[in-house]
Chains A and B, each alone.
Chain A
């Protein structure tokens, strides 16, 4: 599922509430039918900003969630090795984040999130800081890693193309206060090819319908931002 909406509408806040990082001031959030109180267990979060620990090597960063969960020894080593390999960073285990490119750091973050096998993945514009080519590569990789895993992914983005290409369901949010403006099923067949899917006529049709909805909201939030005292 993807969440799109104008900037400042509360997409990131939604994820913070679901994860339990933030508390809601009113109303309640439930995950799997249980109200959120503290950090939601079994959940992974991929941030927009770099969240790797700069003082840990690639391998140590990926191992950290296992270490926090008490997974030790050979089992931990095996899983770290597996995930470092799956994101294509074999040979960089001993590198520190500052020695890697932005795309490589994102891959480490992805491995760090997936290594403990969370059922739900929250992604807050994870690829927005990358250049277009790297972003497309990362989207394709994400799809490949996700395929068949049965995980629920909530993907926040301001990029409609990214939302349609990745998601089964896209929710367009209104300019604050955030409400669900529209909900779209994306019926494009899977497995999808990130490069090719954009040329599918159903893709372009969905895109223009969503953009119609989103445009009003973007204009609203833009007008608000420019007329604010």
Chain B
């Protein structure tokens, strides 16, 4: 039997988190002002806030966020689509699986970041090089999750629908894909982070707009506050997208007990 744990008070948890954040920020601010922390290298929270305000007034934030987010989301969608299709194909067809699965493992072993300069070379400073870079990171995460999810299907379920007269396509549609869906969703949550990394890194290497571009620009002029400001913006973006995906997951996967 599992031990019944007393439920934690959500407000106490949230309060503690807030208090710790405020404390850390206050220490940082105070350290910067008192000269304990080098302001050139570490900046301080108020400067970061001012920097964000400054970018906002210039309209950079909207511009950068729109650019980075459209790259991220396009990469996420394209990468997940290809990943899911490949995963379903290779997991449900033994021949294709035997031929291509090892190749994908091999490709996956390439550190994708090192390919980004190549993507810039092939696709230019444009939107597409960022999309491809985000996609290259997302694709593998989603592919392996889909593949594992389909391989994990209970064979009894497949046998059951086969006896009922299901065709291969019926099996994919009614058994394999729904079964893999919970795996796919948990991979999507990490894929969001990867898509953003792909887009931002590609912006690092060559762009004229985007949060990554803004960070590189600040770095070049030793504007540490600018670098941190960019990071704060990225953090907020990931949290927003992650919240959206969790909401979608709850809407789509209603057939499991709520605790899972």
Interface size class of B (residues with CB under 8 A): 20 to 34
Residues of B within 8 A of A54 (CB): 255-256
Main secondary structure of the interface of A (DSSP, over half): loop
Query: CB-CB < 8 A to A43: which residues of B?
Result: 163
- B170–A98 CB distance below 8 A: no
Interface-side segment among B53-61, B105-113, B153-161, B189-197 = B153-161
In contact, B156 and A51 (Cβ under 8 angstroms):
yes
8 A Cβ contacts from B206-260 to A: 253-257
Q: How many residues in A have their beta carbons less than 8 Å from beta carbons of B?
A: 24
State whether B165 touches A51 (Cβ < 8 A): no
At the interface, yes or no: B148 with Cβ under 8 Å from chain A?
no
Complex interface: chain A residues within 8 A of B179 (CB)? 55
Q: Does B50 contact A (CB under 8 A)?
A: no
CB neighbours of B256 from chain A (8 A): 54, 98
- Chain A residue with minimal CB distance to B254? A96
Q: Which residues in B have their C-beta under 8 angstroms from that of A56?
A: 174, 255
B166 at the interface (CB under 8 A from A): yes
- Cβ contact within 8 Å between A50 and B165: no
B170 touches A55 (CB 8 A): no
A42, closest chain B residue (CB): B165
Cα distance A136–B174 when bound, in Å? Answer: 32
* Between-chain CB contacts (< 8 Å), 8 pairs: A19-B163, A21-B159, A51-B160, A54-B256, A56-B174, A64-B174, A68-B165, A98-B256
Q: What 6 pairs between A and B have smallest CB-CB spacing?
A: A51-B160, A65-B164, A45-B163, A55-B255, A55-B178, A96-B255
